[in-house]
Each structure stands twice: as C-alpha cells, then as structure tokens.
Structure 1
Amino acid sequence: MKRQYLMLALLILFAFDAYAQGVGLTEFNTERLHVNKTGMIVLGSWALGNIGTNAVLLNNPSSKEQAHFYRMNIFWNVVNLGLAIPGLRHSLITDPASLDMASTVSEYHKMGKILLLNAGLDVAYITGGFLMKEMAKTRPNKEDILTGYGRSLILQGGFLLAFDIVLYSVLSSKGGDLEKILETVHVGANSIGLTFRF
C-alpha cells in the first residue's frame, strides 16, 4: 500500500513539474526568444539597409572622404548581417518547451553578459572613431580615409550602443518573470519541490 502512495505522490510531483514547466518556463522562453528574434530582425534590417544605401551612394561619392565612409559602412554591416542571421535562426528554430530550467537560466544570463560586453565595445568603437578624426588633422596624406572611417565608426558604434542598451533593457525587464519561476523551485539536500501560490 505504501508503494502505491509513493507512486501516486511521484506521479503528482511529475505532473505538477510538467505543468509548472509548461506554463511558466515555456511562456518565459517564448517571450525571451521573441525579444531576441525582434532584435535580430532590427539588426539585420539595419545591416541590409546600410549595405544597400551605401553601395548605391558609393557609385557617385561627393569626395574621397565620403567614399571611405560609404565603404566602411558596407564592411561594418556585412559583419552585422553575419551576426544577425545566426541569431535569428537560433530564435526561430529553438522550441521554447524544449528548454529546461538550467538551460533557460544559462541562456538568459549569457545573453545579458554578451549585450553588456557589446555595449562596452560600442563605446570603444565610438571613441576610436573620434580618435581617427583627430588623427586626420595631423596626417594630411591620410585625412580622407581617417575622417571617413572615423565618421563610420561613430555612426555604426552609436547605433549598436543604442541597440545593445535597448535590447539589454527589454531582456532585463523579463528578469522578474524568471525570478518568479525560480521561486517555485526548492532544492534541498534530499529533495526537490515546487511551491504553488493560488
């Protein structure tokens, strides 16, 4: 008889675990992946728009400086597109229900760290752009390329800084939902349990 109660208790525990995971965790992952997908669409659109526009403008630049500016914008956005496509693909092919608690927490924190690191790099790009423009003043033979590339770094770094800050803010706003999910799980030395609040 005790064995039957034990089996019933285990069955109920697994049912509640599946229910909790199905409702809270899957919804959280669905929203998180949607945020990532939207971000990658924005980044990819920016990249494609820049590549197309600057390629057209490069056919008839008003100066050598402008030609370098357009060329650097194209190079920069080929890289952006190379980052956006795999990120978008990951968001589209990942099944939110397939991610367990550990994977969810890991991916959430990993993305946050990547965005903060990128924001730091963006500041470095912008700073590098201003430095290149200053260097151009003392190097007349390279003034066009330094000024053009510098302007591009400032523009592209500025966009990416805003992009990373907004994406990080939206992702961080979901952190409270993850904390609520984590509050329902209790791990002890000899047990794992779920708490349900009604």
Structure 2
Amino acid sequence: MKKSFFLTVFLVFTTFQALGQSSELTAFNADRLQLNKVGMVVLGSWAIGNFATNAALLRNPSSKEQGYFYRMNIYWNVVNLALAVPGLRNSLITDPSSISLTESIGDYHQMGKVLLINAGLDVAYITGGFLMKEMTKSRPNRQDLLNGYGKSLMLQGGFLFAFDVVMYGLLQSKSDSLNKIIETVSVNADGFSLVFRF
C-alpha cells in the first residue's frame, strides 16, 4: 500500500513538473511570438506610412532632389513591407505550444543573430547615404539624384537601426525566462532528463 501511494505521488508530481515546464516553454514562445508580431506591425506600419506620405508628396515635389528622395523612400519600403507581412503571418499562425525546446532555443538565437546582422547593415546604409551626399561634390550633374537617394538611405537606415536595436534589447530581456527553462533539463549519455529542484 505504501509503495503504491509513494509511486502515485511521485508520478503525479512528475506529471505536474513536466506540465509546468511545458507551460513555461509555451509562455516563453508566446512572448517571443508576440514581440515578433508587434515588431512586424511597427515595420509594416512604417512601410505603409511611407507609401502614403511619399506618394502624396511625389505628386508635386518642390525639387528634383525631393522627387528622388520620395521615390527612394517608396522603393525602400516595398522591401520593408515584403519582410513585415510574412513575419506577421508567421507570428499569427504559429502555435506557441507546438514549438519544442530545441526549436525555441534555435529560433531565439537565430532572431538575435538576424537583428544584429541587420543593425550592422543599417549602419552600412546610413554610411552609404553620407557617401552619396559626398559624391555630389565630384558629380554635379548627378547632384539631385545622389542627394535625394542619400537622404533617403540615411532616414530609412536610421529608422531600421533604431528598430533592430530596440527589438534586440527586447529579445534579450527574455533570456532569463529561457535560461530558467533550460536549467530544468540535463543531458547525459542515456538522453535527456528533467532536473527537479526543491
């Protein structure tokens, strides 16, 4: 009788512990997907806002330079929208409870790498904008185009740099949650096991 009682208690405790870990992982993935969803809404809104504003201003630009600036902003945000829509869709249709621990760790680190690489590219875009403006000194016949495109690169690169840095910071704020989940798992020669902490 005592054996079966202790075995039952142990099995119930183990089940609750495993469910607790599963719910913590689901909560972590839900938070990560929510962060991505908000990020893609911000990026998509920026793109749509740029389309509307720059298309309206392009109808009657004050100068050729301004026309190039508006056009480049529109071109640039075609790419932003092309990234935001699938990213948003993925965040909306993904079930957080269907993502394994291994996939969660991989997705978390992959997102962090992508944001850091993008931040580096954003700096390159801003630098490219400054270089285009500098090139006007040696190419006066292309001054309007270089100034317009250069200003657009600086504006769009500046926004994207701020976006990627903020997103990376918010993602990193979730690392403690993931580390607590990882601490409950140990790997040995026989496979995976849960670590119970009292």
Residue in 1 aligned with 2:149? 149
In structure 2, how many angstroms separate the alpha carbons of the residues matched to 1:167 and 1:177? 17
SS at match of 1:138: coil
SS at match of 1:186: strand
The alignment status of 1:161 with 2:147, answered yes or no, reads no
Q: Following TM superposition, where does structure 1 have runs of at least 4 consecutive aligned residues deviating by more than 3 angstroms?
A: 7-14
**Paired residues, number:** 194
AA of the residue aligned to 1:123: V
The alignment status of 1:102 with 2:121, answered yes or no, reads no
Q: What are the within-5 Å matches in structure 2 for residues 24-39 of structure 1?
A: 24-39=24-39
Deviates more, 1:141-150 or 1:21-30: 21-30
In structure 2, how many angstroms separate the alpha carbons of the residues matched to 1:21 and 1:59? 57
Residue in 2 aligned with 1:173? 173
Residue in 1 aligned with 2:126? 126
In structure 2, how many angstroms separate the alpha carbons of the residues matched to 1:24 and 1:156? 37
Residue in 1 aligned with 2:89? 89
Under a length normalisation based on structure 1, what TM-score does the superposition of the two structures give?
0.91
Deviates more, 1:132-141 or 1:18-27: 18-27
Q: Which runs of 5+ in 2 are unaligned?
A: none
Question: In 2 relative to 1, CA 121–10 (structure 1 residues): closer, same or farther, beyond 3 Å?
Answer: farther
Question: In 2 relative to 1, CA 193–19 (structure 1 residues): closer, same or farther, beyond 3 Å?
Answer: same
Under a length normalisation based on structure 2, what TM-score does the superposition of the two structures give?
0.91
In structure 1, how many angstroms separate the alpha carbons of the residues matched to 2:42 and 2:94? 19
In structure 1, how many angstroms separate the alpha carbons of the residues matched to 2:174 and 2:47? 27
The alignment status of 1:183 with 2:183, answered yes or no, reads yes
In structure 2, how many angstroms separate the alpha carbons of the residues matched to 1:191 and 1:130? 55
Q: What are the within-5 Å matches in structure 2 for residues 25-104 of structure 1?
A: 25-104=25-104
Shift of 1:172: 0.5
AA of the residue aligned to 2:34: H
In structure 2, how many angstroms separate the alpha carbons of the residues matched to 1:93 and 1:8? 38
Q: Which runs of 5+ in 1 are unaligned?
A: none
The alignment status of 1:115 with 2:115, answered yes or no, reads yes
AA of the residue aligned to 2:163: F
In structure 2, how many angstroms separate the alpha carbons of the residues matched to 1:34 and 1:9? 37
Identity, % of aligned positions:
63
Shift of 1:12: 5.7
Shift of 1:137: 1.8
AA of the residue aligned to 1:58: L
In structure 2, how many angstroms separate the alpha carbons of the residues matched to 1:11 and 1:101? 22
Shift of 1:194: 1.6
Shift of 1:16: 4.6
Shift of 1:107: 0.4
Question: In 2 relative to 1, CA 22–167 (structure 1 residues): closer, same or farther, beyond 3 Å?
Answer: same
- Cα root mean square deviation, aligned: 2.1
SS at match of 1:137: coil
Shift of 1:197: 3.7
SS at match of 1:56: helix
In structure 2, how many angstroms separate the alpha carbons of the residues matched to 1:8 and 1:115? 48
